[in-house]
Amino acid sequence: MTWTGLAPGGPSPLASPRPTIDYRKLVNGFFWLTVASGSVVFIEPAPYDILILITIALWTFGGFTIHRAVLPFVLLLLLWTLGGYIALVPYWNEADPVDYMFHTTFIITTGVFFALFLSERTTRRAELLLSAYAVSCVLASAIALTTWFAAFDGSGDWVKDGRAMAPFKDPNVLGSYMVLGVLYLIQRLLLGRVRYWWAVAPGLALCLAALFLSFSRGSWGAAVISTAMIVGFLVKTADSRRMRLRIAAGAAGVVLTVLVGIVGALSQPDVRDFFFQRAHAEQDYDSGPNGRFGNQARSIPMLIERPNGFGPLRFRLTFGLEPHNSYIDAFASEGWLGGFCFLSLAASTIFVGFRQSLTRHPWMRESQVLFAATFVFFLQALQIDIGHWRMFFVSLGGLWGIEAARRRWLAQEGKS
């Protein structure tokens, strides 16, 4: 058995045929399968965790390069993690903080992988990433809707307090996971790429339904903001006035369809009551000195006095709840070093993302999808802990990988 593309020479004409493996197709296949499995996380370890290790090992075997445009991203992730290990030192004998930092190391490694992987053969790999992610969203949506209707008016292992969450462990994660897939499918419709409209439109409908039934306020807001962003990007970078009008008309059609669907869902009294309950900007557990926002406010003066923060997973020991704010959590779990690195990561990514999304280059459309999702993840970080979200590092790493490819393209074109 030989690996095509790696062997120094072809087989002898007199040699008997031997089975061959196309190395690139093998790596791409495992990559696609890894991303497509990203929504199945109700078991530990998740299929994604195993498959991505196999994919990284196969990819590393073929060799890779690191473009200088990726180095700021990699450095910020490494320093963020280093801050966590420094803060961990006094608690190294405690299992939970150690497990937390090991998981942090693993999830950050995947972000670096996505950046390096997409920095080469970017066109093909970006399409593999987005198509596989869309498939994972449709799969998760089908499971979420099936289990939610089966448990209507009640809760089960796959439904939490009347909110769809399967195949995740948290409705908020289900809702937020849908965002990137929804953006990709909407973009395909608005750009007129409807060769597979019979799959794109129902898939989008499923994803939107699952997003709605997660009853996640943050996810609803993220979906609205990111959709507005991608429509704005498409209009701004359209090739002609006619294309702009078509995009605007398509966006209006999508909005109208969604509103009709929401009105139909709200015709059910139980759904309507729960919707308006969840739609409140502030819930009971948010308010008061010991609520989410109160804890966050009380923690800031304490963190100013602690260069190493509280230590990984120790915010909840002090306040009884998780911080539910990734910026505060970065300072609490990874100290000043990790906190400022996370802030720098957000600022630099937003700068790079807007530049990619509003200037022309071969991967502008893919950048628009990845950045719109990444941007709202950073917004959601103000009200939820995203530091271990797989989908966050998929879009984040993908965006920085495209930045490396874009910089290389500019150099080749003599535009830099």
pLDDT in tens, 280-315: 655 555 655 667 788 888 999 999 999 999 999 999
What local confidence, expressed as pLDDT, does residue 2 receive?
47
At 251-288, the pLDDT tens digits run 999 899 899 999 888 888 878 877 877 776 555 556 55
d(CA 393, CA 389): 7
Q: Comparing C-alpha atoms, which of 14, 116, 16, 99 is closest to residue 60?
A: 116
pLDDT at residue 415 greater than cutoff 70: no
Q: Comparing C-alpha atoms, which of 264, 324, 376, 162 is closest to residue 256?
A: 264
pLDDT band at 16 (very low <50, low <70, confident <90, very high): low
pLDDT band at 172 (very low <50, low <70, confident <90, very high): very high
User: Cα-flanking dihedrals φ and ψ of residue 382, to 5°?
Assistant: -75, -20
User: Where are the alpha helices (H) located in 151-240, listed in sequence order?
Assistant: 171-190, 197-213, 217-236
pLDDT at residue 240 greater than cutoff 60: yes
pLDDT at residue 24 greater than cutoff 70: yes
What local confidence, expressed as pLDDT, does residue 325 receive?
94
The pTM score is 0.92
d(CA 141, CA 210): 5
pLDDT at residue 19 greater than cutoff 70: no
pLDDT at residue 37 greater than cutoff 90: yes
d(CA 332, CA 325): 10
At 107-149, the pLDDT tens digits run 999 999 999 999 999 999 999 999 999 999 999 999 999 999 8
d(CA 328, CA 333): 9
**Helices H, strands E: what count in the chain?**
15, 4
Q: What is the mean pLDDT of the chain?
A: 89
Cβ neighbors of 228 (< 8 A, separation 6 or more) are none
d(CA 224, CA 393): 21
At 365-388, the pLDDT tens digits run 999 999 999 999 999 999 999 999
pLDDT band at 42 (very low <50, low <70, confident <90, very high): confident
At 59-97, the pLDDT tens digits run 999 988 899 999 999 999 999 999 999 999 999 999 999
What local confidence, expressed as pLDDT, does residue 152 receive?
64
What local confidence, expressed as pLDDT, does residue 416 receive?
53
